[in-house]
Structure 1
Amino acid sequence: MFTGIIKEVAEIRDRSSSSVTVGMDTSAVKTGDSVAVNGVCLTAFLVKKGEAVFDVSARTFQLTNLSSVKTVNIELPLKAEYYISGHFVTGHVDGSVKLAKVEDAANFKKLHFAFEKSFSPFIALRGSVALDGISLTVEGISGGVFSVNVIPETVKRTNLSGRKAGDAVNFEADPLARYIVNNMNMPGEGITKEKLKKWL
């Protein structure tokens, strides 16, 4: 489990059809540990000083941008004593969205992302999403595009500074949204709009 608060931007040094090698701080990582690499939960099978090698399945390469990016956001798993500064992120990426436009505002950047229709139920105004593992808040939705505002500190501490229009970015829906939508679509009564109104 992760929170979407990035600890390090690292470089992919090598990749094969079943793995990626990442140059990163490995002082707190050991073989078998899970690490969020650009928001994707991966298991380290080889760790040495300053470098870790992670298993990557063909399906993960297909769903994510790990086959093409050069730099990745790194987050280690949540510890119980840490503050939860973002939102719960599982590292189970749903797919990718495309960066459609970058706008510079007075004290932040506004990023617009085009998404596929199947993601629509999981994207809500003021809701949370994880983009390349970064916990961000949806500030606007128009048609098949949502936008997020990114403060300078987040740009500085992540790989967003190098992102440009047309880039594919890993997308993970808020797990709570995923479970609610899944239950509402279950056969039988499941979670109904009436039940949600009572609970909320």
Structure 2
Amino acid sequence: MCPLIPNGIIGTGWDFVIALILGIAFGFILEASGFSSSRNIVGVFYGYNFVVLRVFFTALIVAMVGLLYFSYFGWLDLSKIFILPTYLIPMIVGGVIMGIGFIMGGFCPGTSFTAVAIGKLDGIVFTIGLYLGIFVFTEAYPLFGDFYNSGDLGNVTITDAFGIPASWVAMAFTVVALAAFWGTSLIEKRVRKNRSEYKF
């Protein structure tokens, strides 16, 4: 049955409408989760707030298990879902650069727009820097285009790479998520206790 557009159940003219609705819903959830605050976001790096980790782990597990159940009941054809190609080394380098920007600026691209939507000055400054970065990247692309497109592994998944059944991967991630929820709650309590003890 699903995906709806690739299977012709609804016309292709609805793709932008659906994207707009999903985008608004995503932004609402980010704001409701506290992601418009740079303090909440960078808290994961300093150990006092792990809301980012919990929300994304929860989204990952719900989506993963949901897709598996939809596939099991025949409601979704997983072979028609787009999987982003993996460029291993460029993606690792890009992840490091984004992580540094994440810590320095307090936002990722998505959360910065959430902050802009509610009028936060730091979100506006970060978004201006984001667009400047996009401009510089575009202009400098010919210098590192070969590296950017190197190490193409294709549309590979963990299941494909290691030959592990998808159900086992989902279970492993669920166990890791539960352990992370428990571990981060202990870290938060410890960090907040230490911070309160050193207040003058």
Q: Give the TM-score of the pair, scaled to structure 2.
A: 0.20
Structure having greater relative contact order (Cα 8 Å, sep ≥ 6) = 2
Which structure dedicates a bigger proportion of its chain to helix? 2
Which structure dedicates a bigger proportion of its chain to strand? 1
